[in-house]
Every structure is written in C-alpha cells, then in structure tokens.
C-alpha cells in the first residue's frame, strides 16, 4: 500500500470512529509517543531547565492532563527550546503528540487524532524505514497499521 493510501485509510478509520473510540486511541497513542527509556536523555540537550521540567511533567501523564495544562507546559517548552531547528526525532514526535492531544482534548477535532496516528506510524518508520511505495511491507509497519485500525474500531473499555 502506498503511503498516501495508508494516510487516506487512517483518515477514514478516524472519521468512522466515534468520539469515545478516538479518545481511547488518542490517549493510548500519546502515552506511547511520550514514553521511552531514552526520551528524557534525548530531551536533555534540547531544553533549558524549565522546559526540561515542563517536558517531563507533560510526558508523565499526558492522557490524564487537561488541554490547558498541556498548553501551559508546551508554552514553557517552546520558550526554553535550545535547539535551532534540528531536534531529536523522538523528542519532536513527543512534542507533536502532546500538541495534537491538547488540540483534541480542547476541541474534539478528529484531525488531531489523525495526526496522532500518523506520528505513531512515523515512529515505527523511524525504526524500520518503510518504503513509500509499499508502506506496510514490513511486519512492524503492518502491525502498527493494524493496531491503529483495531483500536479505532474497538468498542467500550475492551
């Protein structure tokens, strides 16, 4: 499946999901994208002390945070970013995930969930370097696409 077709399929999955399914998927995905043993180490060189602390707090429980709290942390992070446009990909993805999650919590726009799903695919792509003409050829990419679809179709708390 070509990358554009994968993105289109993700949009269709998000559109077909109800708000509860989007919320559950988004919460799970933002947590996945903001955790990792080396994320704090990667972020250490990117931020000043205040921004580093805000980043740690935002990543500690993004699913349980409010949009206002997330935006306040993101503002602090933005003010204390030391890198000049060349940020570690894992840190950048985490920041983007936090921004999309705050946006979804604030206005429930499904586009923010689409962007979370795409960031999740990009995280896997970073590890396995998927081909644009056959984006799901690797087992890892196919599994992530299947996870996205499964979570967006999942009903209730199952």
What 3-state class would DSSP assign to 130?
A: coil
Q: What domains, with CATH codes, occur in the chain?
A: 3-153 (1.20.1590)
Does 153 have pLDDT greater than 90? yes
Per-residue pLDDT band for 132 (boundaries 50, 70, 90) equals confident
Does 157 have pLDDT greater than 60? no
Does 46 have pLDDT greater than 90? yes
Pure H helices in 65-108: 67-79, 89-107
pLDDT of residue 37: 83
pLDDT in tens, 72-127: 999 999 999 998 778 999 999 999 999 999 999 999 999 999 999 999 999 999 99
Alpha carbon 51 to chain centroid, angstroms: 19
């Amino acid at each position: 499946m070509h990358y554009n077709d994968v993105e289109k399929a993700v949009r269709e999955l998000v559109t077909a999901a109800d708000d509860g399914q989007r919320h559950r998927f988004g919460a799970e995905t933002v947590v996945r994208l903001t955790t990792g043993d080396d994320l704090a180490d990667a972020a250490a060189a990117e931020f000043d002390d205040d921004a580093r602390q805000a980043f740690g707090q935002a990543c500690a429980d993004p699913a349980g945070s409010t949009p206002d709290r997330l935006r306040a942390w993101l503002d602090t992070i933005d003010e204390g970013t030391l890198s000049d446009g060349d940020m570690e990909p894992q840190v950048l993805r985490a920041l983007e995930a936090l921004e999309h999650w705050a946006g979804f919590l604030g206005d429930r726009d499904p586009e923010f969930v689409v962007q979370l799903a795409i960031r999740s695919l990009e995280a896997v792509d970073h590890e396995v370097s998927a081909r644009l003409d056959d984006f799901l050829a690797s087992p890892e990419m196919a599994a992530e696409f299947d996870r996205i679809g499964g979570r967006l179709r999942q009903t209730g708390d199952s």
